[in-house]
Structure 1
Amino acid sequence: MLPIPLIIVILIGLVIFASYFIVKQQTAAIIETFGKFTSIRHSGFHLKIPGVQRIAGRLSLKIQQLDVIIETKTLDDVFVKLKVSVQFKVIKDKVYDAFYKLDYPHDQITSYVFDVVRAEVPKMRLDDVFVKKDDIAIAVKSELNDAMMEYGYDIIKTLVTDIDPDAQVKAAMNRINAADREKTAAQYEGDAQRILIVERAKAEAESKRLQGQGIADQRREIARGLEESVEVLNRVGINSQEASALIVVTQHYDTLQSLGEQTNSNLILLPNSPQVGSNMLNDMVASFAASNQIGEAMKNTKKKE
């Protein structure tokens, strides 16, 4: 059996050990005396009367988060699940209300969130739920603030963090989105093809214009060269008709020579005789003479009229 002094020392030690307690930072301890509320102690070292006073409970003053998942129906009869995250904390000056007025704050908050969401979402179409999720969060926060302030809780923020429609609805939405993107892609491809055709046509038109300009310049220079050739021949006593015949014959044989230089050419020039150039010139002169006669006759007819 232990000596009485040792027992007294042990009892004193137990009393001293039971007399003090420590409250952590951002925590509140509720003290009761014989079951009646006495005081609220905040962070630090504290004393209490052993056997008379007790710590009835502790409340965290930190911001807490509660995630609530609600399934409801939209205005266009689509079932959707929403995840609402509620951030809240105990008001430091209302620890008494938070501890004694409400046993299960999480259940209370969940009930209000269900009530608000199931009142707001059925007014909206599915697309509007995605667009107006912030409005839903604001409505939840407003309702919770009014209700939970009485119990000593402050609602810091509410967020609609997830919107999950029925699987078949999501598949249909994905198909609609894919079809819209394919339509847009087809429109862009059509515009690109149209621009390509227009630019190709412009390039071809410009090519034809430059080709025609080149031919015109070529013929202009040929005519100028023929004119100079005729002037040179006239200076040595050859008249214009003889000079023209000489030029036509010369060009005829130059053409034959250029054709003969092409080893893989299958071109046959008919008729092919020395008189071809002279006959061609005579036909041209006769055509010009007939044209002049017709022109003079038309002028005389107009004068008579």
Structure 2
Amino acid sequence: MNRGAPRTLLEQLIQQRDQTVAEAASEFKAKARELDEPATLSPRHLRRWMNGEASDAYPASRRVARQLWGAPLEDLLGPPSAEAPAVPTVAERRRSVAHPPVNDLGRLPTHGIFEELAMAADDSARFVRRARTVLSPEVLEQLNADVVHLAEQYLGTTPYQMFRPLAELRKDVFELIDSHPRPEYTKDLYRIAGLVSALLGHVSSDLGYTYGVETHTRMVLTCADLSGADQLRGYAYWVQAQVAYWQKEYQRSAELARRGLDSAALSGSDVLRLTSQEARALAALGDERETALVLQYAADAREQALGERAQPGIFDFAPGKAA
């Protein structure tokens, strides 16, 4: 599709990434979430930016834009640059994987070999998950490794790219559950299904699909009950509380965070995540007394979280993110 000459540096960068406006807006939302910034950007609003109009951009939106596109918003709204970094298109990236160029020493270039290595690892993981007719510790180990890998990948990958591998992994887990495994493996399978469902909930949230968020988090809660994993339950309520917050349902957001805190056996990081969300919601409601009280709970949880092992990828809630 011929898009015509870009009018701004921002439009130039988006064209170089071979993205649609909707994809770029979703990437902005995902970046805002990663940075814990209260910023969002609709495709319609992004089109205005691409046209050089952003007089009403909030500071949080400006910060996210700078992190995502590598330049201040004022520069992004300015004319295209002949020195803008060339970003390969999707088609070019696909061709580089199918027919990777070879350097002078007959080896694949660094970016090509990593893509090839990733595809080979995916094939091995899929074989381990599906090759055995009887569930074994090796299969469970592979499933856990897959969850960790995808959770870490999420931090640097668009939601569109995350959806298919997550959906395929959960399908594999469901098939294993349906195969009536030995009782000692059942709880682990439900826990893993809950973790993957939580990641699918993140995808739905980043893409603005509220029904998907609610459905996947209900699945997480079901898996938490079946596996006895209280941390899953707390995490699901946090995701729901976040969605309610972005929808400006601040009272519901605070209530969902409190419900998550009622879960037993939460780590300091889990408590910090939920109390921080509750404090944000209460602050938005203007309840200064309750906000101060919850912030004190968050401070106590932060001290506990400092000595804990970090969770993988997007599941981690570092003390620095706290309210």
Instruction: Give the TM-score normalised by structure 1.
Output: 0.20
More helix by share: 2
Q: Which has the larger radius of gyration?
A: 1
Name whichever structure is richer in strand by fraction. 1
TM-score (norm 2): 0.19
